[in-house]
């Protein structure tokens, strides 16, 4: 599975002809940060193509994987932390992916949530963790509150 995170693209394609699907997480104002994914991607070199010029982009390969659950959480204004989840996993081996899209001016670095590994940081924060059965959440600290 290929995962692409970009806040501005309306469409994503690649040089291998994979079909990308988009899911959203809700933000404070009802807008969302999209994550695009293509399952069954062919191995080897691939070029991701966006329909706009990107400020930030994150691309990762998660073999073998699929997105079978999505937690569309919103961060609360003025809260010290934003929590994604909880999500219950019933399979023996799964990969959880958590992401946050920040304004380019945020200029903060988040420590990874407990058990997660930070894969990319900047205006897009991406974390993942390989897990077994159980219930999991990811927590992103907010270094300053917006809109208060």
Task: Tell me the pLDDT tens digit for each residue of 95-128.
Answer: 888 887 776 666 666 778 888 898 887 777 888 8
Q: Within 10 A of 39 (CB to CB), how many other CB atoms are there? A: 15
- Per-residue model confidence as pLDDT tens digits over 57-100: 778 887 777 777 777 666 666 667 777 888 898 988 888 888 87
Domain ranges of the chain: 2-141
Q: Are strands 94-101 and 58-61 parallel, antiparallel or unpaired?
A: unpaired
Are 58 and 126 contacting, i.e. CB atoms less than 8 angstroms apart?
yes
Dig out the tokens for 100 from the structure. 């946050």
> Which pLDDT does position 142 carry in this prediction?
65
> Which pLDDT does position 147 carry in this prediction?
47
Q: Within 10 A of 141 (CB to CB), how many other CB atoms are there? A: 12
């Amino acid at each position: 599975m290929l995962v692409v995170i970009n806040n501005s693209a309306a469409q994503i394609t690649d040089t291998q002809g994979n079909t990308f699907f988009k899911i959203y997480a809700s933000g404070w104002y009802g807008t969302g940060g999209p994550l695009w994914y293509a399952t069954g991607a062919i191995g080897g070199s691939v070029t991701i193509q966006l329909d706009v010029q990107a400020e930030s982009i994150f691309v990762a390969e998660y073999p073998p994987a699929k997105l079978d659950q999505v937690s569309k959480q919103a961060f609360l204004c003025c809260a010290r932390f934003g929590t994604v989840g909880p999500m219950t996993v019933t399979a023996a081996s799964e990969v959880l992916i958590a992401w946050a899209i920040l304004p380019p001016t945020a200029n903060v670095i988040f420590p990874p949530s407990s058990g997660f590994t930070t894969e990319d940081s900047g205006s897009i924060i991406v974390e993942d963790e390989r897990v077994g059965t159980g219930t999991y959440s990811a927590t992103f600290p907010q270094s300053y509150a917006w809109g208060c």
